[in-house]
Structure 1
Amino acid sequence: MVARTEAGSSTKEVVGVVSFYMVAAILMVTVNKWAMLSSSVPVFLLFCQLAVAAVLLMASHLAGLCSFPRWDWKTVRKLCPMIALNVLGLVFNNLCLHYVDASFYQVARGLVLPFAIAVAVVTNQGAPSPKAAVCCVWITIGFGIGVLLDQHSTVVRKGPSFIGIAFGILSSVTTAIHSITIKDSLPHVNHSALHLAWYANVLSSLAMIPTIVLAGEVPGVYALFLDDSQLRRFLWGCLVTGVVGFLICVAGVLSIKVTSPVTHMVSAAARGAIQTLLSVWLFRDIISRSRAASIIVITTGSIAYTWVKHREGNRPPSTRPRQPKEDETRLLEKEAEEV
C-alpha cells in the first residue's frame, strides 16, 4: 500500500513535487543573476521571461496538458490591482537581484513575512498571535544583522548596495500587499491557482511594455539589438529564464495542491542554503559571518513562524478563527513566505 501523507498525497508525490519546486526555484535565481551579469536592461529581460512563460502556458493548453478559461475582459478588470502589484513586485525583485550579490539576495528580501503580517493587520485581516509576532521580530533582527553588520565586514570586498537593499525592501512590501490581493482575486477565477497564474503571466507581460519605457530602458534595448553577440547572449538568457519561469509556475501550482505550508517552508530553507552555496561557487560571492548569521536567523524565524501557524491551525474549530479555503491559504502563505 502506498503511504498517504499531507493533502492526501503519497510520499513519492510529495518528495517529487518538493524536489521539483526546489530545483526550479534555485535555477530561477541562479539563471536570473547569470543573465543580468551581461544585461543592462533588467526590466526588458523580465518582459521577455514573462512572454516566454506565457507562450509555454499557451502551448501546454493547446497540447491538452492543461486547460485555461476563455479570455474574459470582466475578469481582467477585476484582476488589475493584483496584476499591478505583481508587476511592481517583479520589477523591484529583478532590480534587487541586479544590484546585490546572489548570496545576499535572501537577506535583502528578508522582510517579506513581517511586511505581510503588518499589511494583514492594517487591512483587518487579523493580528498575529504573540508567538507568531516573536517570530516576525526574530526575522527582522536577522535582516538588520545582514544589512548593518555586513557593511563593516573585512571579508566581503564591498558591502551590499544600498540601492539593492532599497529595491529588496520595496519588493518585500509589494509582495506582501500582493499576497493579500490574491485572496480577493482567487474568487474571480473560481479559486483556481492555475487560471490565476495564466492571467498573471499574460497580463503582467503586457504591463511590462510601458514599464520598460518608464524605467528608461528604451535606449539600452535599442543598443542591444545593434550588437549581434550581446543580443545572442541576451536571447539565450531570456529563453532559459523564461523556461525556468514556466517551471516555477507549474511547480508552484503542484506545491499548493500536494504539500503543506510546513513542508514548503522547510524546503525553502534548504533551497536558500543550496542557493547560497551555489552563489559562492558560480559567482565567486564571499559569505561573511554576518551574512551567514543573517541568513540563518531569517530562515529559522520563517520556519518557526510556519510551525506556529501550523500548530494554531490544528486547534479545535471552536478555538481558532475561520480559515479560507485550503488552496487559498496555501497560496497566500507561499507568496508571503517566499524569500
Structure 2
Amino acid sequence: MTLAQQNVAKPPSKALVFGTVLFYMVAALSMVMANKWVLNTTSAPLFFLLAQLFVAIVLFLGAHTVGLIQIPLRLDLDVCKGLVPMVALNVVGLSASNYTLKFVDASFYQVARGLVLPFTVCTSYIVLHSRPSLRILFSCSIVTLGFFVGVFLDAIPMSLVGVSFGVASSVITALHSVVIKKALDVVKGSAMDLSWYTNLLSAGVLIPLMLVMGELPEVKKLFFPPEQAVVVPHARLGLLGTFLWGSLIAGVLGFMMSLASLLSIKVTSPITHMVSSAVRGVAGAVLGMWVFGDVLSTGRTSSIAIILSGSIYYTWIKHVESQQAASSPAKSGYDRIPLEEVEAGKTVGLNGKPTPE
C-alpha cells in the first residue's frame, strides 16, 4: 500500500485497536502461564507442543467447516516442499522456546530470549544486505547490555541450559523473519494457508523427533504414572489432567492468536505494537512472581527494564527513519525488517505460539 493509499484509507477505530491489543496481550500472557504450568509437571516439552498443534489443527478444521476461514484440505506436494525451511525453523524454534521455559522461571523468560532484536538486525544485514544505522546499532547494544545484566549480574542462580535454549530460540526467530517472506510466496500470500500448512506439517515432523529425543518414557508416565509419583503443588488436577487442560488452553489460545495477529498488524502501528509488548513483558514478570513464586531481584528487574528500553528506542528510531525515507525515498538505502513482522512471524507460523512471550 502506498503512502497516498494509506492517507485515503479509513483509520481503524480506537475501540478496535484497544480491543485487538488487549486480546493479544491477555492471550500471550495466558499462554506463557499455561505453558509454564504444564512444563513444571512434565519432562516432555515436544509432546506438549505436539498436543497443542493437534488442538490447533482440530480448530482449523472446525473453523473451515463452519465457514469462518478457508483452508486447503488437499495438500499440494509442491507447497509442502517449498515450506520445508519454514517448517524446520518453526519446529526447532518452538521446541527451543519450550525447553527455555522448561528450564527458566516465567519471570526470566523474556531475559533468556532477550537477543531477538539484535539477532534480527544482524540477520537482516547478512541475508537481506540491509545496512543498519548507527542509532539502530545503539538500540541493539542497549538490548544486548540488558541481556548480559540479567545473565551475569543477577544474584539468583539460573540454568545455563535454559539460557542457551533461549539464545538458540532468539536466533531461530530472527531467521524466521526472513524465511516467512519466502514462505508467503509459496502459498501465494495467504497467511492463513501458511499457518494451516505449518501446523499440520510440523505435527508430522514432531512425532519422530519426539521419539528420537527419548520422550516416550515421559509420555508413558503421563498416562500411567507410577504409584510413588511426586505431586507438584500447583498440579492439583494430577499430571495427566494438568497436561490435557494446559494443552487445550494453549492450543485454543494459539489458534486465536494466529487469527488475531493478522488483525493486529493491520490495525496497530509499530509503536503501539512495541509498547504493548513492553507492557506484556512487565506483566509476565509480575505474573510469574505471583503465580509461580518467582523472585524478582534487582538484577532481573534491571535487565528487563534495559531490554525494554532498548526495544522501545529501536521502535522510535525505526519510526523516525521510515518517515524520513517516505519523504525522501531516493535517500533510503536499505529495507530493514520491522519488529512487528518478527512478532507476526512467530504467530502466523505455528498456531500463534511462542513462542510464548
State the TM-score, normalized to the length of structure 1.
Answer: 0.91
Pick closer, same or farther for the CA change 1:301–1:329 going to 2, 3 Å.
closer
Q: Which moved more, 1:178-187 or 1:288-297?
A: 178-187
| Residues 1:46 and 2:37 aligned together | no
CA distance in 1, matches of 2:25, 2:42: 26
CA distance in 1, matches of 2:108, 2:178: 26
- Unaligned segments of structure 1, at least 5 residues: none
1:36 and 1:42 in contact (8 A); partners too = yes
2:147 and 2:303 in contact (8 A); partners too = yes
1:96 and 1:105 in contact (8 A); partners too = yes
Pick closer, same or farther for the CA change 1:100–1:329 going to 2, 3 Å.
closer
CA distance in 2, matches of 1:24, 1:9: 21
Q: Which moved more, 1:268-277 or 1:186-195?
A: 186-195
Q: Which residue of 1 aligns with 2:205?
A: 207
| SS of residue matched to 1:123 | helix
Q: CA deviation at 1:230?
A: 2.5
| Residues 1:94 and 2:92 aligned together | no
Pick closer, same or farther for the CA change 1:34–1:196 going to 2, 3 Å.
same
2:131 and 2:334 in contact (8 A); partners too = no
1:115 to 119, 122, 131: 119
- Unaligned segments of structure 2, at least 5 residues: 1-6, 227-237, 348-354
Alignment-mate amino acid for residue 185 of structure 1? A
1:119 and 1:177 in contact (8 A); partners too = yes
1:56 and 1:246 in contact (8 A); partners too = yes
CA distance in 2, matches of 1:210, 1:125: 37
2:107 and 2:294 in contact (8 A); partners too = yes
Q: CA deviation at 1:11?
A: 1.2
Q: CA deviation at 1:138?
A: 0.6
CA distance in 1, matches of 2:344, 2:259: 14
Alignment of 1:155-304 (within 5 A): 156=156, 159-227=157-225, 229-304=238-313
Q: Which moved more, 1:218-227 or 1:264-273?
A: 218-227
Alignment of 1:58-97 (within 5 A): 58-69=61-72, 70-97=74-101
Q: Which residue of 2 aligns with 1:130?
A: 134
| SS of residue matched to 1:68 | coil
Matched residue count: 328
Pick closer, same or farther for the CA change 1:187–1:322 going to 2, 3 Å.
farther
Q: CA deviation at 1:35?
A: 1.0
| Residues 1:331 and 2:329 aligned together | no
| Residues 1:141 and 2:145 aligned together | yes
CA distance in 1, matches of 2:288, 2:309: 20
CA distance in 1, matches of 2:143, 2:10: 28
2:273 and 2:340 in contact (8 A); partners too = no
CA distance in 2, matches of 1:64, 1:237: 27
Alignment-mate amino acid for residue 216 of structure 1? G
1:112 and 1:336 in contact (8 A); partners too = no
CA distance in 2, matches of 1:231, 1:6: 50
Q: Which moved more, 1:298-307 or 1:140-149?
A: 298-307
CA distance in 1, matches of 2:345, 2:274: 11
Pick closer, same or farther for the CA change 1:336–1:311 going to 2, 3 Å.
farther
CA distance in 1, matches of 2:176, 2:83: 11
Q: CA RMSD in A?
A: 2.4
| SS of residue matched to 1:127 | coil
1:146 and 1:290 in contact (8 A); partners too = yes
Pick closer, same or farther for the CA change 1:224–1:7 going to 2, 3 Å.
farther
Give the share of equivalent positions with the same residue, in percent: 45
CA distance in 2, matches of 1:183, 1:54: 23
Q: CA deviation at 1:78?
A: 0.4
Pick closer, same or farther for the CA change 1:30–1:241 going to 2, 3 Å.
same
CA distance in 1, matches of 2:81, 2:267: 31
Q: CA deviation at 1:192?
A: 2.4
C-alpha deviations, 1:279-317, integer Å up to 9, x for none? 111000000001000000001111111111111111222
CA distance in 1, matches of 2:342, 2:131: 16
Q: Which moved more, 1:279-288 or 1:183-192?
A: 183-192
Q: CA deviation at 1:243?
A: 1.1
Alignment-mate amino acid for residue 148 of structure 2? G
1:103 and 1:276 in contact (8 A); partners too = yes
Pick closer, same or farther for the CA change 1:17–1:133 going to 2, 3 Å.
same
